[in-house]
Every structure is written in C-alpha cells, then in structure tokens.
A = this chain, B = another copy of it.
Amino acid sequence: MSHKYSNGGIANGGGDYRNNDDEEMGGVVLGLDGGTTSTICVCMQFHPQLVDPLPILGRAVAGCSNHNSVGETAARDTLVQVMTEALSKSGSKKSAVRAVCLGVSGVNHPNDQERILNWLRNIFPSHVKLYVQNDAVAALASGTMGKLHGCVLIAGTGSISYGFTEDGREARAAGGGPVLGDWGSGYGIAAKALTAVIRAHDGRDSQTMLTDSILQHLGLPSPDELIGWTYADPSWARIAALVPVVVSSAEAGDEIAQQILNDAVQELALTVTAVVKRLGMAGEDGNLHFPIVMVGGVLEANKSWDIGKEVITCILKTYPGATPVRPKVEPAVGAALLAWHFLRKEIYGKCYR
C-alpha cells in the first residue's frame, strides 16, 4: 500500500549532516515498518526541526519480519537486509546511524521487544539509540507526524487498535491473530466469506454471489476445492487478499457479503472505542477531540462500499470529537519520526511537539 503515500521526497545523499555524528545534530535515523506481508525501511536525516518535505534519503522493501510467522532467524535476516539496502540507497554509512525505531508486527509482549532489541544491539554500536514498538505505534506516528497522542486503527491482513494519551498512558485492543478472532481484519472478512461459500454449498446457509466470484477469482471449479485451497498454504495474507472480492459482491447487492462487511465495521469500531474508553481519551463527557489514524487496505476507500468511512461513522456516534486522519506518509516514515522524537528527547530532555 506504500504507493499511495508520499515518502516526503527522496533527497539525494545526506547533505551536511552525514558523517557528522560527533555533533548533537547530524547523521541519520532509520524507521522500519515490519508488517505481516512486508518490511519497509526509510532512512531520514536527523534535522534539528521537522521540515517539509521530510528529509527522506532512501527507502527499501523486503519480506515479512514477523517472528511469529517466519521464525526468528528469517525475521532477523530480513531486518538486516532491509536496513542495509535503505542505507545504501541513501548514500549513507552505517556509522551515520544515530537512532533506529522498529515498528514490528508481532511485538505483543516485553519479551518480544527485548529479543528484537538484542538483535539490533548486535548490529549497531552502543551509542546508537534503539526503539522497538508494535507496528501500530509507528502507524499512529505516521498520522500525527511522530506525536504519540490519539488512536490508530490498522486493518490490513490483521487488525489492531492502539491508543496513547498525552500523559503517556497507552492501551491496545485486538491484534491477536486468526485464532483469537480479529473479525474486522482482512483475514477475518475473507475467512467469513470463504465460510459463507462452504455453508451455501452444504446447505447450512443461503446461496451467495460470493460463491461464483470467489471461485472465479481463485480459478477453482467447485466449492469442494476450497478446503484443499485453504490447507495448501497457511499464509493469512493469501486469505486476506480476497477482501476486494467480498467488497465487489457487497456492492453488487449480495446480502451475505454486506452482512460480513457490516459485522467487520462493528468489530473495527468496537476495537477503537474499547481503547478510547479505557484511556478516557474523549474526556468525561465523551466529546473531547482526538485523532484516529486509519491505516491498512481494509480501510482504504472501496468505491461505493467504503469500510473505513462506515467505521468512522460508527465511532462518531459514541465519540463525536474523534477526528479521522488518513496518513500522508507510510508507517515506516512514522517509525523514523518516532526515532527522531525519541532521539531529540534524549538530547534536549523533552519530546518535541
């Protein structure tokens, strides 16, 4: 989905700041977005102030770095590869790196965070500041230009909501993966659609346009083939890739597809409102303003059936001060902005806002 983001302009070379890491300013920061499907790294100059366009020097893309999905060794190798390539494209040396922030999918526990920090400590010298966050935190920062306040909702292959208050409290909801019922995720929507096809086929539920549209999309002759198809590859992203087919069927008037999307909207809205409620982010009367950063393929404008728009409508009923934000930069830039903020705070003792 990176194609729709501005990368802030890819500048050529690190300018005056490169290889100048003895001074307070200068050098570069790396931001990484490790999603379920791909890992993206951007290299940004460490300017003293945020400028527009952002001084992005280089960008690289690699495969999945979720250690839960691909295992620890493959995840680590992917991170090293994508950082090396981003630095190379920037014309920057590893010695210019002053801070790295990884927003990694699958960081659900302090142990995960500690393990990934250990990988990075073996790659960079000790003066380099290292930060590991759930990828949702980087996504939030991509909509708030690095400020950790408000709520983010990610709905791509998986789904998760994360919230931060100005006084530093945080909460999350969902993000548990397929077994733990993230039914608003791309995987959740598509799994329900596949289930609807099987149920129509074996007589447990009504017929649906999803049958023809999904079978045609997958090139399968009969619903009987779907069981083998789902077993053939355990990738959730492969299942989630069927979401546009579900949206098309809903737009064509299929009631079962519409119900699946309506349920997903309710699930996603609930994922956000649970976080907002726990943090008291909307104040006692529920009317305070706060940003909701919306990220991921499921929330992108889907012609007439716009899941993201429906989710916002649903949230506004409870929290009229919620302000939807569609990030103009990608989550990897959000991670770089976090690295910038964290490093600036280390130097000046407070976070730039």
Q: Is the CB of A179 within 8 A of B191?
A: yes
A173/B227 in contact, CB under 8 A: no
| Residue A168 at the chain B interface, CB threshold 8 Å | no
| Interface status of A204 (Cβ within 8 A of chain B) | yes
Query: Which residue of chain B has its CB nearest to the CB of A222?
Result: B109
Interface positions, chain A 146-200, Cβ under 8 Å from B, are 171-181, 191-192, 194-195, 198-199
Q: Is A234 an interface residue (CB 8 A)?
A: yes
Collect the chain B residues with CB atoms within 8 Å of residue A203's CB: 171, 173, 274-275, 277-278
7 nearest A-B residue pairs (beta carbon):
A181-B195, A203-B274, A173-B202, A68-B231, A179-B230, A204-B274, A108-B227
Contacts of A112 in B (CB 8 A): 228
Q: How far is B228's CA from A68's CA once the two chains are assembled, in angstroms? A: 8
Residues of B within 8 A of A275 (CB): 202-203
A231 pairs with B177, CB closer than 8 A? yes
Min CB distance, A175 to chain B, in Å? 8
Chain A residues with a Cβ under 8 A of chain B: 68, 106, 108-109, 111-112, 171-181, 191-192, 194-195, 198-199, 202-204, 224-228, 230-231, 234, 239, 270-271, 274-275, 277-278
Cβ–Cβ < 8 Å partners of A179 in chain B: 178, 191, 194-195, 230, 239
Assuming A179-B191, A180-B227, is B172 touching A202 (CB within 8 A)? yes
| Residues A173 and B204 in contact, CB atoms below 8 Å apart | yes
A183 CB to closest chain B CB, in angstroms?
9
| Nearest B-chain residue to A279, judged by Cβ | B203
Select which of B68, B106, B178, B198 is within 8 A of A176 by beta carbon: B198
Residues of B within 8 A of A225 (CB): 109
Q: Which residue of the partner chain B has the closest CB to A203? A: B274
Whole-angstrom distance between the Cβ of A123 and the nearest chain B Cβ = 24
Which residues of the other chain, B, contact A178 by a CB distance below 8 angstroms? Answer: 178-179
Find out whether the CB atom of B109 lies under 8 angstroms from the CB atom of A202: no
Instruction: Please measure, in the bound complex, the distance between the C-alpha atom of A289 and the C-alpha atom of B175, giving whole angstroms.
Output: 48
> Closest Cβ of chain B: how far from A154's Cβ, in Å?
15
Residues of B within 8 A of A198 (CB): 174, 176, 180-181
Q: Using Cβ atoms and an 8 Å threshold, which residues of chain B touch A68? A: 228, 231
A278 to B202, CA, bound (A): 8
Contact present for A176 and B195 (CB under 8 Å): yes
Minimum CB–CB distance from A268 to chain B (whole Å) comes to 11
Write 20 A-B pairs (CB below 8 A) sorted by A numbering. Answer: A68-B228, A68-B231, A111-B228, A172-B202, A173-B202, A173-B204, A176-B195, A179-B194, A180-B194, A180-B227, A181-B192, A181-B195, A181-B198, A181-B199, A202-B274, A202-B275, A202-B278, A203-B275, A203-B278, A204-B270
Q: Given contact pairs A109-B225, A202-B278, enumerate 14 new A-B contacts (beta carbons under 8 Å).
A: A108-B224, A108-B227, A112-B228, A173-B203, A176-B227, A178-B178, A179-B195, A180-B191, A180-B198, A180-B227, A181-B195, A181-B198, A181-B199, A203-B275
Could you say which of A180, A204, A270, A275 has the most chain B C-beta atoms within 10 Å of its C-beta?
A180
Min CB distance, A196 to chain B, in Å? 9
Flag if B174 contacts A202 (CB, 8 Å): yes
Residues from chain B with a CB closer than 8 A to the CB of A234 are 234
Question: What separation, in Å, do the CA atoms of A171 and B108 have in the docked complex?
Answer: 44
